[in-house]
Amino acid sequence: MTQLETRPILLTASDFRRHAEGLVEPGVWDFIEGGAEDERTLAANLRAFDRVRLRPRVLAGVSDVDTSVSLFGTRYATPIGVAPTAYQRLIDAEGEVATARGAGAAGALFVAAMFASRTIEDIAEASSTGPWLQLYWLRRRDVMRSLAQRAEQAGFGAIMLTVDVPRMGRRWRDMRNGFAIGGGVAAVNIDPAVMASAHERDAGSSALARHASDSFDSSLTWGDLAWLRGCTRLPLVLKGILTAEDAALAVEHGADAIVVSNHGGRQLDGAVASLDALTEVVDAVGGACPVLFDGGVRRGADVLAALALGAHMVLLGRPPLWGLAAGGADGVAGVLCTATQELAHAMALAGRPTLAALDRTALRTTSLTGGDA
């Protein structure tokens, strides 16, 4: 056979997933794929999109479909970005640098995780679309301040604070595996002393959960956000909002954007699916700031549904990691470009050639509340 004949044909995110699974160490694969406890919320994120039905319009003039979107002064070719995920060198030797290059090739936003395994500066240099930096709230505020200021100096576009982890969810896959960060991989932007417990394996427990218990500040309240705002001039994005009440408080406390997210089903098992929370949050925000979305997106039609319900941008968590495992930067670009092509195709067939043309009339809304699909 020729090399072309033996190369896997990867047409969908599911194709990338199947190919990637055999290339990743099993414990790391469980870390990527797993959710909290019985993984009910992880499954609910996927099922929520199965209830969506689209209402296509015809004779809408769809010869030119435009998927581009602007956010905080940056124009992206696609409304599909990369959500923050940690320790990407567990999957590919170049880690976050490869993901940044792949996102740039697709014209997409890349959000680098606080626990990235490549430096903030290396990620910035590899990115052509202006990455953002995600943070958790640590007891060590000096560490948070330093990271935020380094990101601003390196040219990052925003700070994304994850607010749904006062403690880490009970992720039974990681606990059963005694998962710890090894293989010479580390959160290189943080003092090793702060990260030590993340590398200490103990059968029947997760090193990452122990590290979160040691390091995360669970006393955080809305009033503390002003301190982080004062650390940089970058926009502040809050990730992990699922209710109208918290959406209103986020606006009240000056959030520049929020992300509707249940942490990919990795925190409170039994929490509402992200898609089922989206309308409530969008209505509560009332246009005061952009609303982003993540959770269970696997195809372009899923993106269309989230955008029609009011999301400004949709972030993918696991699929870019499948691309990273399957082909490094090219694999990441492949996942993002595939999803964008699927979105453009769905927009054309739905008779909605621009993102501005996507609204709730594009969906059969009864299907989102469990009605006849």
Q: Which residues are catalytic?
A: 263
**Unique residue bearing structure tokens 């490094």:** 328
N-terminal to C-terminal alpha carbon distance within the chain: 45
DSSP 82: E
**Structure tokens given for 83:** 């959500």
DSSP structure class, residue 163: -
Closest to 171 measured CA to CA, from 275, 293, 33: 33
Contact present, 293 and 253 (Cβ < 8 Å):
no
d(CA 253, CA 265): 26
Report strand pairing: 80-82 vs 257-260. Answer: unpaired
Four-point Cα dihedral 260, 21, 133, 48, nearest 10: -10
Question: What six digits make up the tokens of 305?
Answer: 């549904």
Instruction: List the beta bridge partners of residue 22.
Output: none
DSSP lists the bridge partners of residue 223 as none
The 3-state DSSP class for residue 58 equals coil
